[in-house]
Amino acid sequence: MIMENELLKDDPEITEDDCCTSDRKSHHSDKVKKNLVSRLNRIEGQIRGIKGLIERDTYCDDVITQIAATQSALNSVARILLEGHLRNCVVERIQEGDMEVLDEVLVTVQKLMKK
């Protein structure tokens, strides 16, 4: 099992401040969580499938097509999370007078748009 700190070391874009020290929690319903987990399970299968394609020397264009489909699926998960974040977490924090959340959202959107 990979420890969270090991993951942080591998990605210079992620710092401990970004994900590990926050006391905040998401507000997803059980239905939304189940949907997200189901999507992520399918994505996990797609990744394993791509690995298998590469191991079997599958034609590059076919592998790239599967990578594009997986990226699209991940983007869908991100959109669902972002929508819920805006409708719940961000609205709640603005109502509490915490306007710093707007800067946080802008940084998050920039990360999502980075390619």
pLDDT attached to residue 22: 59
- For position 71, which CATH number holds? 1.20.58.1000
Instruction: Return per-residue pLDDT of the chain as tens, 115 residues.
Output: 333 333 334 444 444 444 444 577 777 889 999 999 999 999 999 999 999 999 999 999 999 999 999 999 999 999 999 999 999 999 999 999 999 999 999 999 999 998 5
Q: How many domains does the chain fold into?
A: 1
- What does the H/E/C string look like for 20-76? CCCCCCCCCCHHHHHHHHHHHHHHHHHHHHHHHHHHCCCCHHHHHHHHHHHHHHHHH
- Domain span holding position 86: 29-113
